[in-house]
């Protein structure tokens, strides 16, 4: 690492002295560019210091996203950039008598061709153990047009003509289902769920079809937590165990913060002692929900779409808030949605403190406890993903909004017009080709060099051997002068060097 830092300083200092701004063109403004280059060199040192000593990563053929510094050893002239999803409008209105303005804690699951949506229906603000809270169900063939099937399972408000699948308070307050991906899971337990509160603990439920539910275990399976929001669980193929991320509290100074803790289990019944999550060197914030789950295209990366909560920060005067929300307890506070990740253990990576999704353009988007992201990012098509979020909470117009984001597009390595470079940590891979998810302008471009562990270009795979790639593709196969085949390097320790200009690099995969 020390040698790499020395090389970086020497390389960019040389460019500074020669008035060059990077690997592309002479700098039109030498003084300005020298300052930028010096900043880049310092930034590179900070990034490589943060990453620590290099270890050889085992990528295999798994996809890697640029949402953290896991794969990055150094960057010069580049930055990790967070991308905001595009709001597409109302996905589902909470317009049934048993739903209403306090419907929340939504989960979206894509099961084969069917999109399934689960959410709490609650027409008025009530305690967590209120019998008014019910679990509702909707489904869709495309994630866009949703229907609420008449299931006839329970009598609610005098009718069985409803979409309610669960009514057992207090578990219907924060019922959080999952599609169990563990190999060999019994068909009767294909779906599982956790629900509960601090008095009764978390209880486990099972279902064969995601609609008809029963208890998995007679007693609470986990009791060491607060549990007063959406407590999420999943099977981790990377860790070969079930994980649950749940609400806890942490006292920092004089303030108690809504926090996230984690527990694990081999059988969904017996859970370990909780671990409090660490967010690194970031300021403490109230995280009302966490939304942690494996990303479907890179399940070794657990993405978290969390609601960030400011309990005493209101957007409007009391008079204006009163006109929006009839319930006095929901007039003071605000929230937005944030994005972070973890790869296991008790550490979240938070390179972005900015909002992932801002509240929205209308006054109704700025009330207390609004903007709760649904658990579950799901594929829309090859190029796009769907994200859902509660809007207009505590109001008659409460609904789920749908958002669209580029596939793998939570964040990217972003290059400005002047360009920059990235060098990865050393790694091994399996497969015969390298695919990239990237986007450039017509003026921009991207080239890739494969190096040995020491940083020396490999014959036939140097930067000069790689024609510049331009375009906007989810998986472009990289070509060098000898073709696209990299199978001879599989299993060997290598690095990648990327040179980018006016471009975004989202992910890579050997296959």
291, 420: one domain = no
Quick one: average pLDDT of 188-204?
97
361, 472: one domain = no
Q: Which pLDDT value is given to residue 166?
A: 98
318, 252: one domain = yes
User: What's the domain count of the chain?
Assistant: 2
Q: Report yes or no on 228 lying in a domain.
A: yes
Q: Report yes or no on 339 lying in a domain.
A: yes
- Asked which of 351, 384, 406 is the last residue of a domain, the reply is 406
Q: What is the CATH classification number for the domain harbouring 496?
A: 2.60.120
Q: Which pTM does this prediction carry?
A: 0.90
Eight-class DSSP state of 62? -
162, 101: one domain = yes
93-123 tens-digit pLDDT = 999 999 999 999 999 999 999 999 999 999 9
- Asked which of 385, 406, 427 is the last residue of a domain, the reply is 406
- Judge whether residue 154 has pLDDT over 50: yes
- What does R_g of the chain's alpha carbons equal in angstroms? 25
188/120 Cα distance (integer angstroms): 23
Q: Report yes or no on 44 lying in a domain.
A: no
62, 174: one domain = no
500, 382: one domain = no
165/208 Cα distance (integer angstroms): 13
Residue range(s) defining the domain that contains residue 196: 86-232+241-406
Q: Which pLDDT value is given to residue 39?
A: 42
430-475 tens-digit pLDDT = 999 999 999 999 999 999 999 999 999 999 999 999 999 999 999 9
354, 255: one domain = yes
Find the range with the poorest average confidence among 12-26, 377-391, 473-487, 497-511: 12-26
Q: Which pLDDT value is given to residue 9?
A: 37
387-428 tens-digit pLDDT = 999 999 999 999 999 999 999 999 999 999 999 999 999 999
289, 178: one domain = yes
96, 202: one domain = yes
188, 152: one domain = yes
364, 225: one domain = yes
Eight-class DSSP state of 91? E
Mean predicted lDDT score pLDDT of the chain: 91
282-323 tens-digit pLDDT = 999 999 999 999 999 999 999 999 999 999 999 988 888 888
Integer angstrom CA distances of residue 372 from 57, 173, 315, 392: 35, 15, 17, 10
- Asked which of 362, 377, 406 is the last residue of a domain, the reply is 406
Q: Report yes or no on 164 lying in a domain.
A: yes
Q: Tell me which residue of 267, 232, 266, 264 sits closest to 246, measured CA to CA.
A: 232
339, 454: one domain = no
């Amino acid at each position: 690492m020390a040698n790499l830092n020395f090389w970086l300083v020497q390389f960019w200092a040389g460019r500074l002295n020669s008035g060059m701004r990077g690997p592309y063109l002479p700098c039109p403004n030498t003084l300005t560019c020298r300052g930028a280059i010096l900043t880049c060199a310092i930034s590179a040192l900070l990034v490589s210091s943060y990453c620590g000593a290099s270890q050889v990563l085992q990528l295999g053929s798994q996809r890697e996203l640029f949402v953290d510094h896991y794969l990055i050893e150094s960057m010069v002239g580049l930055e990790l950039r967070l991308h905001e999803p595009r709001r597409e409008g109302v996905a589902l209105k909470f317009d049934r008598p048993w739903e209403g303005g306090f419907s929340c804690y939504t989960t979206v699951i894509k099961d084969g061709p069917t999109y399934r949506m689960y959410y709490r229906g609650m027409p008025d603000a009530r305690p967590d153990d209120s019998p008014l809270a019910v679990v509702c169900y909707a489904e869709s063939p495309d994630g866009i047009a949703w229907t609420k099937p008449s299931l006839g399972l329970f009598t609610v408000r005098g009718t069985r003509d409803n979409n309610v699948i669960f009514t057992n308070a207090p578990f219907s307050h924060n019922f959080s289902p999952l599609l169990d991906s563990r190999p060999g899971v019994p068909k009767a337990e294909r779906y599982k769920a956790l629900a509960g509160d601090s008095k009764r603990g978390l209880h486990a439920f099972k279902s064969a079809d995601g609609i008809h539910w029963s208890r998995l275990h007679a007693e609470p399976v986990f009791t060491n937590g607060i549990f007063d929001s959406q407590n999420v669980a999943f099977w981790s193929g990377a860790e070969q165990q079930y994980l649950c991320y749940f609400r806890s509290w942490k006292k920092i100074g004089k303030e108690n913060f809504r926090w996230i803790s984690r527990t694990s289990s081999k059988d969904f019944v017996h859970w370990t002692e909780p671990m409090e999550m660490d967010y690194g060197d970031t300021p403490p914030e109230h995280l009302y929900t966490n939304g942690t789950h494996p990303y479907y295209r890179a399940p070794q990366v657990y993405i978290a779409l969390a609601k960030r909560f400011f309990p005493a920060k209101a957007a409007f005067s009391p008079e204006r808030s009163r006109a929006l929300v009839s319930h006095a307890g929901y007039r003071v506070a605000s929230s937005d949605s944030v994005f972070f990740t973890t790869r296991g253990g008790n550490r979240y990576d938070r390179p972005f403190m900015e909002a992932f999704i801002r509240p929205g353009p209308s006054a109704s988007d700025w009330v207390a406890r609004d903007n709760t992201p649904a658990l579950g990012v799901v594929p829309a098509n090859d190029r796009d993903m769907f994200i859902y979020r509660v809007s207009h909470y505590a109001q008659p117009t409460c609904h789920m909004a749908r958002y669209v984001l580029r596939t793998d597009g939570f964040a990217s390595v972003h290059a400005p017009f002047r360009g920059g470079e990235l060098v990865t940590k050393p790694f091994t891979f399996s497969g015969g080709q390298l695919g990239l998810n990237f986007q450039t302008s017509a003026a921009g471009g991207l080239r890739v060099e494969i190096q040995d562990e020491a940083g020396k270009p490999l014959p036939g795979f140097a930067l000069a051997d790689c024609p510049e790639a331009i375009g906007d593709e989810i998986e472009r196969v990289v070509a060098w002068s000898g073709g696209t085949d990299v199978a001879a390097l599989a299993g060997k320790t290598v690095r990648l060097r990327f040179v980018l200009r006016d471009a975004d690099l989202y992910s890579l995969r050997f296959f």
